[in-house]
Amino acid sequence: MAAELFEGQYVWHPAADDRLLASVCVDVRAGRYRSAREALAETRADFALRAHRSLVLASEAAGTDLVERWLAEEPSPESALMWARVAVQRAIRAADARDERAEALERIALAACDRASAMNPADPTPWAAKLAMARLHRPHDPAPSGLLTSPRGPWRLFAHTLALDPWHREAHHRFLSFFFTRYGGSVNAAWDVAAFLAQRAPADSAIRLLPLVALVESHNPTQLLAERVWEQPQWRATALSIYHNWQPAVAGYRFTPVLDLAYLAHALVMAQREFEARAVFTAMGRYASRMPWSVFGEPAEQLSRARRACGLPTPS
| Long-range contacts from 186-191, C-beta under 8 angstroms, 24+ separation | 186/149, 186/151, 187/218, 188/148, 188/149, 189/149, 189/151, 190/214, 190/217, 190/218, 191/215, 191/218
Can you tell me whether residue 6 is helix, strand or coil? strand
pLDDT surpassing 50 at residue 1: no
Residue 31 exposed, middle or buried by CB count within 10 Å (0-12, 13-18, 19+): exposed
Q: How many CB atoms lie within 10 A of CB 19?
A: 10
Cis peptide before 75 (omega within 30 of 0): no
Residue 314, SS3?
A: strand
pLDDT cut 70: percent of the chain above it: 98
- Please say if the pLDDT value at position 60 is more than 80: yes
Instruction: Provide the pLDDT for residue 5.
Output: 55
pLDDT of 224 reads: 84
Average pLDDT for 121-130:
98
> Which residues does 49 contact at the CB level (< 8 Å), separation at least 6?
43, 254, 255
Q: Is the pLDDT of residue 300 over 70?
A: yes
**Range 200-215 burial, b when 16+ CB lie within 10 A, else e:** ebeeebbbbbbbbbbb
Q: What is the pTM of this model?
A: 0.95
| Confidence at residue 136, expressed as pLDDT on a 0 to 100 scale | 94
Q: Is residue 4 predicted with pLDDT exceeding 80?
A: no
Residue type, 165: D
Give per-residue pLDDT as tens, 126-166: 999 999 999 999 999 999 998 999 999 999 999 999 999 99
Q: What is the pLDDT of residues 92-106, one digit of tens each?
A: 999 999 999 999 999
**Coil vs helix vs strand at 287:** strand
Q: Give percent of the chain above pLDDT 90.
A: 94
Q: Quick one: pLDDT at residue 6?
A: 63
Angle at Cα 188 formed by Cα 203 and Cα 197, nearest 5°?
Answer: 25
C-alpha dihedral, 120 to 162 to 242 to 264, nearest 10°: 60
Give the mean model confidence (pLDDT) for residues 63-73. 96
Confidence of residue 316 (pLDDT cuts 50, 70, 90): confident
Distance CA(292)–CA(302), nearest Å, equals 9
Considering the chain, what is the average pLDDT of its residues?
95
225-252 per-position pLDDT tens digit: 888 999 999 999 999 999 999 999 999 9
Give the model confidence (pLDDT) of 246-283 as tens digits: 999 999 999 999 999 999 999 999 999 999 999 999 99
Inter-residue contact 153 to 179 (CB < 8 Å):
yes
pLDDT digits (tens, 9 = 90+) for 13-46: 999 999 999 999 999 999 999 999 999 999 999 9
Helices within the chain (DSSP H only): 19-29, 34-41, 47-61, 66-73, 77-96, 102-119, 125-137, 155-164, 169-177, 187-200, 210-217, 233-245, 258-270, 274-284, 299-309
* Distance in angstroms (rounded) separating the CA atoms of residues 312 and 186: 37
pLDDT of residue 185: 95
Give residue 311's pLDDT: 94
pLDDT value at 203 more than 70: yes
pLDDT in the model for residue 8: 79
Q: ∠ CA(175), CA(145), CA(236), 5° rounding?
A: 60
Please, which residues have CB within 8 angstroms of residue 100's CB and are 6 or more apart in sequence?
none
User: Quick check: 170 and 213 in contact, CB under 8 A?
Assistant: no
- Res 225: pLDDT: 87
